[in-house]
Each structure stands twice: as structure tokens, then as C-alpha cells.
Chain A
Amino acid sequence: MKTLNTKTLKLFALIGLSLAGGLAQAAEVQVAVAANFAEPMKVIAAKFEQATGDKVAVSLGSTGKFYAQIKNGAPYDVMLSADAETPAKLVREGYAVPGSQFTYSIGKLVLWSPKPRYVDDGGAVLKKGDFRHLAVANPKLAPYGEAAMETLAKLDVLSQIKPKLVQGENIAQTYQFVASGNADLGFVALSQVYEDGKIMSGSAWIVPAALYSPIRQDAVLLAKGKGNPAAAALLDFLKGPQARAVIRDYGYAL
């Protein structure tokens, strides 16, 4: 110990104290986030951490997988679902706190291709059908997939396009199929191709809301996060003006 002079010891003590202090103050909140909300959540989490000093740990995945995991003891405090049904089911089954459910965003569907001037404003490209693969999210698993199938049915092109459909297991994988060029075009979430009020690349048709049922995305406080002040704070923050501005920037309705 002789080699450690008092100065060094003091420094260590100081570091130790500040670490302990930090632990006591900053709480952590674990959030399960639907894949389509990945980008806005990154921004919102950073703003929230800055405003409160709390830490946000984001897990990305599909709503169905989170449902199974939460029922089997996954350590999430908050869930941002891609639908309204799953949070309601979790509340009914006692895995989420009653009265905590609210709609944080309404998703918009877009037909998108990385090729410029390929998708027209009006979706006539679907009727023309000069493509090999059209990517959609699995309609059984993802609300955006369900909305895509509804749209195809309303446009009366479902039966002719069906043999060309390829399915991603969630909306992130669907985007990957299109972005890599393996599918010529696909129905993805507007938030994936939209930033600062415009489409980032390629060509797109924002599907009119009349063609599919609204994609209501709900958040809920999970049973495990009940006593966690950071969890409650994050849910409040999501309802606040700062978060809502971000959500709108990514092309969601509110």
C-alpha cells in the first residue's frame, strides 16, 4: 500500500462516492419497443436521459415475441407496442397496470422502393405488376402487414399480386428485403423511410388512410415497472411536447 500516496487514495474515494451517489439517484427503465418505432425511440430516449438523468435500456423486437416474453417473466418496465390489442391483453391478464395504456402514435403505411421514380403517387405500379417480389410484413404478426393486405384487397389487386408476395417476420426485416433490392418494392412503415418531413430516398406512395384500418400503437406500464419512478417518468415524457414533436417528425400521426 506504500506505493499509493494519500492523493491517489483520496481520488479513489471520490470516484467511489460519486459512483455510489450516481447509483442512488439515476434510475433505469427497460423498454420493449416495437421494431417500427426504433428510430424515433433512439431520439426520444436521448432527450429523456438528458432531461431526467435516468437511463433507458431499449430492446427492439416484434410485439408478439414481447408478449410471450413478458408473460414469462421478461424484465421490461414499459412496452411500446405496434398495436393496441397486445397492451390491452397484457392488462387483462394481469401483466400490465390497468389505466396506464395510451396511444403514443398512429402508424402510417407507405409503398416504397429504393429505385427513384418507380413507385408513383397513387400506387398504379401495383396494377401494372411489372415486378418480381413485393415485400410485406407477415399480416398475422405485424399490424403493418395487416394494413398492407387490407390495402391490396381494397385496390382489388390482391389475387394477382399474391404469388409475388414475400413476408418479413417484422417490419424491420420487410424494409431490409426492399432496401437490399431483393424485393423490388414493399409496404413498410413511413417512419422507416421518412425524416424531417420528407422521404429520404427512392420513390414512395404514402397510402391514404382510407385504404386500411388505423394502426394505433399503444404504450403500457408493465407490472414489473409499477414501482419504478423512471418508468412512470418515461411514459409522461412520451405524452409531452418534446416527444410528440419527434414522433411527428418521423411521419406518425397523433
Chain B
Amino acid sequence: MTLSAADLTAVWLTIKLAAIVTALLLVIGTPIAWWLARTRSPLKGPVGAVVALPLVLPPTVLGFYLLLAMGPHGPIGRMTQAMGLGTLPFTFWGLVVASTFYSLPFVVQPLQNAFEAFGDRPLEAAATLGAAPLDAFFSVALPLARPGYLTAAVLGFAHTVGEFGVVLMIGGDIPGQTRVVSVLIYDHVEATEYAQANWLAASMVVFSFLVLLVMYVWAPNKKRGG
């Protein structure tokens, strides 16, 4: 016995979801992490805490609030309906939005650490040499923060793949739309299809191990080199 067609659909969907969410998070996370690393504003604490909330909240809490907020009577739902997009729960893009919230700290925090690690010196040097702030960011800060970006991308991707509670709450278990691997494993277990559950679950274990292996073996060397 191997993976069935339904299993493969779920695997592909999960990879697609994680890839889109990771790309989005790197774009959204960069300015947030940059601001958190550089600012002396009293808002640094509160903003940092809000970003870190998904680390401590149970996914069911986040999923429940997102279901209400994105529903037809919630603030996000009203907005998306007014824009003619309908409501987000039970859609692939609903999962993208939810996962972006959920995985935010896993991307912002490594980036923030990376930006904080090299301090103000390189940017001051760039400014002295006549680089505009944006130029200095792209030609000095970004290359210096590369190990941070690697960690952020790997963690963001892996955490989205491993997400379960939020997807269960707002997904509606639709094949090819919202039925990701973690939910399908749950379905298999609930239906007492243990052999199928085993195949998928073992694949997840191998995948997670490889991801962490890459991070632990490769990323620190990069950092030392940089």
C-alpha cells in the first residue's frame, strides 16, 4: 500500500499552501521585523507581543476567532463581501490568510534577530559612503541577514505544513481546497484507516526531520561564514 490519489492531492495542496504563505510572510515580515529591530518607539513592546501571540494561543482559539471574523457577520467577512470576494472560510485563500497570521512569529522573529545581530555599524558605514537608506537596505542589510532569511523561510514553511487546529476550524475539509495533509491524517485516524494514516504520518515525520536537519547542519555554518 502506498499513497492514494486523495493523499497526493492533499500533499500537493499542502505544499502549495506553505509555499504561498512563506512567500507572503517574507514580504510582510521584513518591514515588521526591520521596524522591531530598529525602533526606539514605546510601541515596540506591544507590537512584538501581538506578533508573538500565535506562539502561545491554542490554534483552536485563533481558528475560532478567524471563523467568526471572516464569517458573513464578522469585520473581515463584511470587508471581503463588500469587495465582492464573498467570505473566506472553506476556501483555499481563507487558509492562506489564516496561516499567514498563524505563522507570522516564525518568520518575523528570526528576521528581527538577524537585523539586530549586525547592529547599526554597517548601515552607518553605507550611509557615509553615500548610499540612500533603501539602497543600503538592499545592498547591505539584506545580504547580511541571509542566514536569518533562510531560517525564517524554513520555519514559516514547516510551521504551515504542520498546522492543524486552525485549518480544522475554518477549512471545512474540502478535497483539493482545504483538505491538507494534517487534516487528512486526522480523517484517516478517525475513520480507523490506520494503514493510510501511517503512510502519511510517517512522511510527515521524515519531512520534519529533514527540515530541521537542514537548519541545524547548514544554517549555523552560513552564519559563521557571514
| Chain A residues at the B interface, C-beta cutoff of 8 Å | 62, 64-65, 67-68, 132-133, 135, 138, 140-141, 165-169, 173, 176-177, 180-183
Contacts and interface: CB of A to CB of B under 8 A. Distances in A.
Nearest to B174: A166
Interface string B173-206: 1100000000000110111100000000000000
Contacts, number: 61
Contact of B87 (A135, A138, A182): A182
A161 to B, nearest CB: 13
Contacts of B174: 165-167
A182 B187 contact: no
Interface stretch (B9-17, B34-42, B49-57, B65-73): B65-73
Given A138-B187, A165-B174, 12 more contacts: A62-B190, A64-B192, A65-B190, A67-B192, A166-B172, A167-B174, A168-B172, A168-B173, A173-B168, A177-B172, A181-B71, A182-B87
B87 A169 contact: no
Contacts of A67: 192
Contacts of A141: 187, 190-191
A64 B186 CA distance: 10
Nearest to B172: A166
B73 to A, nearest CB: 5
Contacts of A169: 168, 173, 186-187, 190
B68 A140 contact: no
A166 B87 contact: no
B110 interface: no
Contacts of B90: 133, 166, 182-183
Interface in B53-90: 67-68, 70-73, 86-87, 89-90
B190 A64 contact: yes
Going nearest first, the 8 A-B pairs with the smallest beta carbon separation are A166-B172, A64-B190, A167-B173, A181-B72, A182-B71, A182-B89, A141-B190, A166-B90
Contacts of B192: 64, 67-68
Contacts of A181: 71-73
A33 to B, nearest CB: 16
Contacts of B187: 138, 140-141, 169
A176 B169 CA distance: 9
A169 B179 CA distance: 11
A140 B172 contact: no
A235 B172 CA distance: 35
B173 A166 contact: yes
B86 to A, nearest CB: 7
8 contacts: A62-B190, A67-B192, A141-B190, A166-B173, A167-B172, A168-B173, A180-B68, A182-B67
A180 B67 contact: yes
A64 B172 contact: no
Nearest to A180: B71
A166 B215 CA distance: 38
Contacts of B73: 180-181
B57 to A, nearest CB: 18
A67 B190 CA distance: 8
Nearest to B171: A166
Nearest to A165: B174
Interface centre among B71, B72, B172, B192 (most CB of A within 10 A): B172
A62 B192 CA distance: 12
A169 B86 CA distance: 23
Contacts of A176: 67
A198 B90 CA distance: 31
Contact of A64 (B87, B173, B191): B191
Nearest to A135: B172
